[in-house]
Structure 1
């Protein structure tokens, strides 16, 4: 889960929880207010009825019922019962109808003075009234239809608003978080592009107060130290390789002179040939390390306009001299973009080294001493394909193919140090090109070099 999603989710959950509590609080308050308002109306109704009865010595119950049933203040499904101190029914507004009531309610009223309870859809309210002259017990029930409708309406509004505002909160939070951490996303994109080939990359910072800019400043300081350390290693490798070449050349020359000396015995010559072979391998290793260091130095060097097919012809010629029994077939696929695509800006010597290493790799690891080179292009890039028949690499070996000193199982029985392809990759990186390895069919190795226009 990304940081943006996590922050948006946490804020939305917090808002949903707080707004949910607020909705419940509002609903409970509104429900209590409706109940209290309804009790007040029931109580006022009971007091008015009781006042009418107490003000008349011989009250007209029929007239009172008529007034109750036709009053604009009449409640829905209203039933009113009034009892005297002996729990005897004095008045009912629904004469002729059977009304269930419980004597326990009257006894409860005598002690607690009032109560409210639910009976189906109706609310049942009882109140004890002491007029000093007489005691009265009033039981009145009614259905607060309008109040309940308002509560249902409020409930729908709160539920709909809860989900609607939670969704809006999620969208707004996601947008605001995206805007807030946009510099962090740009920071991440720049960091991803940093590798050993562009350690001079730095992150721009505008203010020392912004947390992201503070991180950028510390990152730039760290990159300064890394680049300094990396440059020290490269300089040491270059200097050491350069200094070692002279004594190795002297030792090689002395061994060759000793081998060509007529006084040297056959056993001594065999021994010296083994030493010479090892010296040649060591010289090749030092030469490869020197090339690696030169690729870094040549990164900022000026590039000239060259034709890549001419460089490729030169590399093929070198391979033919070193491996005369090795055959290379060459083909250029016709395309309307080809003429312009063959001209690139680069370092001829470095590209010659890269292409030679790829062709040498195809020669050394082929089983039939043949390789096929094809130059093609599309609208975006020039492609050089080099394929041969031989033992292919497994998936694990392909993952580490362009790492220093990496050699696959197909390298058994062949000389080398595993530096050829890393040299190729670094040279191509200088020219904004890429190299890819694939297995198009069984026992076929394919390297494709892509030069972007």
Structure 2
């Protein structure tokens, strides 16, 4: 069953039930009012008859019967009966009076007055005292006009309800169609969106109702998908270029070495150059694999308590073995009373810190980088300072993008992947990274990690 059909059926059902309740309330309230009104009329008839019989002795019972029959206010099939204390009839206005059971007469004596219906007759009995004796005066009749009005009311309500139910079914169907029309338009637009047509967007209208809010969220999702596709295309393009360059260089050097009759020293230099290219290629491949694995699913990595200071010292030792001229100065805030520990993935934190420290030493003229650790209750702040070339202000926002390098890195080996990988790792740990570069203060990368 479609949503349109369900909405139509639901609207039809709710409207029908409410209409049925409304009609029933009107009918039964009208019936209740009719009974109350007719009870009052029967009571007046009973009291009038009792007053005439008990207080106007000069009027004979036969005359009273004649008056009852010819009274313009007489009720339809009206009968007046008076019972004495022994339940004997002392007055009867007609010959077809109802026969009452003694149980009903006893109820009238007990309750002093009683109104009920029996065989389409409306009956009212009341206890009246006369000369210290109790009599039961019973008035009965058929409310012909009142019942006719009720039947007419029932026909009007039933016919009107039937018409309104039919109208509600039609309007419910049209209403559901009208309400779901934006969704149908959205479906048509969504069907047109392809990988090659991610520029299409849904109409957001005036951004007031829920469907338009849904369109906004969908467009935002398409924006993210389009950015992801563009990033992927750019990533593949740059990665192919970066991988092709060292592979071409390696291939060329090996071919030259096979064709030439170089001496042992030249051959060794050739092998060393190839080894450098292979190491650069290996580093680029590892960074690309790490970046891809993080972007694929960042929820699978386990977090443990990591001592950042130990990792930095480990990085220092490893870098000094490969590059003895690197100077890595590490300082810890003297006022710190807490351990420099954060909860995160040790392997990824090692990669991020390695990239920042290695870049600081690599881009510094004297290959010196100063690493300062500051500990606070809620966060761990690490700064990486070097005296290298200034990064232009227009390029600072781009150096964290994959394969983007600043103009100050033209003469330095690299691929532009390290900082983008570092930023992604920092985001994975809900941290922040920023950079400030100036002539007088040098370049300072600031890493903020929540404790």
What is the TM-score when the length of structure 2 is the normalising length? 0.49
